[in-house]
Amino acid sequence: MSSLLPVQRADTLLARAPDQQWLVENLWAAEAVGIIGGEPKCGKSFLALDLAVSVASAQPCLGHFRPVTTGRVLLYAAEDSLHVVRQRLEGICAAAQIDISTLDLFVITAASLRLDRADDRERLSNTVEHARARLLVLDPFVRLHAIDENAVGEVAPLLAYLRNLQRDHHLAVALVHHARKAAAHARPGQALRGSSEFHAWGDSNLYLRRRSDHLLRLTIEHRAARAPDDLLLELHTDNDVLALRVVESRANDGAPPRADTTELIAQTLAAAAGPLTVRQLRAACRMRTDTICKTLDALTSAGRVLKSHHGFRLAP
């Protein structure tokens, strides 16, 4: 007789879900796999490194999210040279006032790592087991294979391997992945490049979108927990230290800008000698960044304001 699948009487099932366990509170679930996604050059690698430093140091991620489960981190950065990885980690550590020598973080230095090759998958599994890592960061997915990312039949086995790696070794896996260009109006998860398997696979997903020249919007998504409100981030430079930091939480009411707010921003632009950035408008108008961004969106859509790489100005 063949073996049976496990079954359980309905009245003996758990009445409610167990308490949510976190790797980093509200940001990444414990032993979760997921995507850190966004268009090119929008800070995905900085966010992945900040998450890695947080877990390896027990310091808040982005200075905002408290790590709950800490321990060793394994990082493979396929696009950046090792000295660039070192510089970025030093900047994040300096911003958080951490000595990089105290980090329980190890960088995989192999020249290449291909998840579509059985020997490389075995080497990665052995490395994870030997390190007893809590978190594995792979950056980016596009450099880890030679498959067609749009083909479900080719993507699914690679993601299944990472899921099995997570289950076998009880670690979290963060996979950096690109979003499609010109997908700004799609839902963040639907904007990911390639198969829809990427969005469906993640337990915790982080999405970055450029909000202005200086600001990024972070959207957080969890399979089994309520997601917090979006956050505005900026890549902050201080004495050659470069790191992401939280600017403010999003205004969550969705209400359109008030007329007096709209006119104040329009008057400020009219009085300016040249284009103004969001930061300059915030200082001049003494408003929340998100209010200014929403108002500028409305004015730009109405054709009253023009945007360039120098900033915003009134349309002639």
- Choose among 83, 90, 109: nearest CA to 49: 90
Which among 188, 184, 216 is positioned nearest to 202, based on CA atoms? 188
Question: Is residue 277 packed enough to be buried (19+ CB in 10 Å), middle (13-18) or exposed (0-12)?
Answer: middle
What local confidence, expressed as pLDDT, does residue 1 receive?
53
What's the pLDDT score for residue 278?
87
CA 193: distance to chain centroid? Answer: 15
Domains of the chain plus CATH, in order, are 22-249 (3.40.50.300), 259-314 (1.10.10.10)
Contacts of 282 (CB under 8 A, 6+ apart): 288, 289, 292
Q: What length does the chain have?
A: 316
Bridge pairing between strands 204-210 and 231-238: unpaired
The β-bridge partners of 175 are 35, 138
| Chain center to CA of 302 | 32
Which pLDDT does position 5 carry in this prediction?
Answer: 86
The confidence score (pLDDT) of residue 254 equals 46
Sorted by sequence, the CB contacts under 8 Å of residue 44 that are 6+ apart come out as: 36, 37, 38, 139, 140, 176, 178, 208
Sign of the four-CA dihedral 66, 129, 34, 103: positive
Ranges of H-type helices in the chain: 44-57, 82-95, 118-131, 152-169, 197-201, 259-271, 278-285, 289-301
* Closest listed residue to residue 245, CA positions, set 233, 257, 256: 233
pTM of the entire structure? 0.77
For position 187, what pLDDT does the model report? 77
Assess contact for 67 and 55: CB atoms under 8 A: yes
The pair of structure tokens assigned to 32 is 């979760």
Are 278 and 289 within 8 A, CB to CB?
A: yes
How many Cα neighbours within 13 Å face the side chain of 119? 1
Give the model's pLDDT for residue 298.
86
d(CA 102, CA 56): 9
Question: pLDDT averaged over consecutive 10-residue blocks of the chain (316 residues)?
Answer: 84 75 96 95 95 97 95 96 95 93 97 96 97 97 96 97 98 95 72 93 95 86 91 82 76 48 85 87 80 87 88 89
> Which residues, at least 6 apart from 239, have a Cβ–Cβ distance to it below 8 Å?
none
pLDDT at 236: 79
Q: Cis omega before residue 140 (within 30°)?
A: yes
Distance, CA of 308 to CA of 212 (rounded, Å)? 10
Report phi then psi at 308, rounded to 5: -140, 180
Residue of 87, 88, 100 lying closest to 56 (CA atoms): 100
Q: How far is residue 137's CA from residue 52's CA, in Å, rounded to a whole number? A: 7
